[in-house]
Chains A and B, each alone.
Chain A
Amino acid sequence: MRDEVLADADDQPRFCVARRSDTNRGARGASLAPAVYARFWIALAQSTGVPSGRRYLEPGPPLVRVFDYRLAGENHHHRTPSYDSPIVLGPLIGVYVDRLPKKFFLIGSNVFRAVLIGIIPCAVSTDTFTVNLLYVLVLLDAVAMATFSPALTSSVPLIVPRAQFTAANALIQSTTSLGIIFGPALSGIGIALFGSQEVLCLNAVTYCVAALCLGLVRLGTLQPSAGPKRTDGSVWHRSHGGAGLRRDQTTRHPAAGCHRGVLRIRRQRPDDVVSGLCEKAVGSGAGRGGLPLVRPGSGAAAHVDSRCCGSPSGTCRTAPGSSRGRAWRARWRSGCSSGRKTSTWSVCS
């Protein structure tokens, strides 16, 4: 039982990477070493919470049983919330991990767990600690864990180049395992020296440190995957995040030489669309085409690269948006200023 408790994969430690600001994608293989060391120590410290939590609950044998089974995932009498939460909430959390900034989930889940694991056990005395309260704590902790895990794994492509995905994942798993192995030993020493509550509070501190370290991580930009390449209008694009794009209409304005197109968004919501205008100020001044674009920062479709104007004097305007919106606005402008006559819309994953 003890080994099973300590080998539980649910207690995934936090990922702490302090990257140099000057590292570039594809050229930072060696810079992972300090991140690995940092994460190892974080994992090591955080694993100290496992036996200390168990010790903390020792006055009531059922509590110990529940806590152990929560870690082992084998509680037949009390269905483990640590397993239920990822099962039930996994797909839903994945959607929001894609749509919202990943750092929000990475940092937020750590802070939440710090509050949950650290402050509440420190504030609640052992006399008033009940199984129901423990169950709620474990459930909330599992929700935080279920949020953190996909956010961490999906952040790997934003940190390392494609050739190092497996190596980075292996480092995550390795440091987790090392923390699981050595953490309890340190925890035992800490409990013997200071007491279980103090070690639990230390565990909360490590969560805070992990959140701080995650705040220093600079995630890269989205890069195309190695998956099948599809063209616009395909099923993949239509089903893409519930907001598929297709090149619905392309016309060439006779007077201005400006390509106009309409990118329609299926299942549009009012906040999914930012109107974009491509204006060609040549000749008669006509040539103004509406370009409904994907909501910036929605995560459903990252960039819309539209080069739509036929002369250097052409300008493009879009509604204000998020930083991602600013990014594709910049690309849009650069495309217009280059004077290309082609009209190209593409969804960059």
Chain B
Amino acid sequence: MLVWTKDLYLVGLLMIVIGGGMGAFTPIAWGIVQELTPRMMVGRVLGLYSTGAMTAAISGISMFGQVTERFGESTGVAGIGATFLLTASLGGWLSWSIRNR
């Protein structure tokens, strides 16, 4: 929707929704890690989590910056949306696997 819309109010609303989703992700992910990981290994898992998150952040900044510069903003936003969709799919699969464990 961000790719297609030109309405600033709608863009603002969508940004709020996106921000809410991003803000909810980290506490839930931390909670799952804390709940499922054996207690004496939580630090290690969270250390790896931080490593993965930082690596992904740097990779995402670099990759989508180049994508935006080369192919335009719409393509970059669409790529970000696809990444969010992939994240949501993985989250849904993880939730399903936990429920059916």
Residues of A within 8 A of B (CB): 73-74, 83, 86-87, 90-98, 102, 146, 149-151, 153-154, 156-157, 162, 165-167, 169-170, 172-173, 177, 222-228, 236, 240-241, 299-302, 349
Q: How large is the interface on B (under 10, 10 to 19, 20 to 34, 35 or more residues)?
A: 20 to 34
Q: Are B27 and A92 in contact (CB under 8 A)?
A: no
Q: Are A90 and B51 in contact (CB under 8 A)?
A: yes
Partner of B57, one of A73, A96, A223, A236: A73
Kindly list 18 other residue pairs between chains A and B, CB separation below 8 angstroms, not including A87-B54, A228-B101.
A83-B54, A83-B57, A87-B51, A87-B58, A93-B47, A94-B48, A98-B44, A154-B42, A154-B43, A157-B35, A157-B39, A165-B31, A169-B28, A172-B27, A225-B38, A227-B35, A241-B41, A301-B40
The binding surface of chain A is classed by DSSP as helix
Q: Are B30 and A349 in contact (CB under 8 A)?
A: no
Partner of B27, one of A87, A102, A173, A224: A173
Q: Are B51 and A225 in contact (CB under 8 A)?
A: no
Q: Are A154 and B34 in contact (CB under 8 A)?
A: yes
Q: Which residues of B contact A223 (CB under 8 A)?
A: 39
Least CB distance, B18 to chain A, in whole angstroms: 14
The binding surface of chain B is classed by DSSP as helix
Q: Could you tell me the distance between the alpha carbons of A191 and B55 in the complex, rounded to whole angstroms?
A: 35
Q: Are B31 and A151 in contact (CB under 8 A)?
A: no
Q: Which residues of A contact B61 (CB under 8 A)?
A: 73-74
Known: A83-B57, A86-B50, A240-B38. A94 touches B45 (CB 8 A): yes
Across the A-B interface, the 6 shortest Cβ-Cβ residue pairs? A94-B47, A97-B43, A169-B27, A166-B31, A90-B51, A94-B44
Known: A87-B54, A90-B54, A154-B42. A226 touches B36 (CB 8 A): yes
Q: Are B27 and A166 in contact (CB under 8 A)?
A: yes
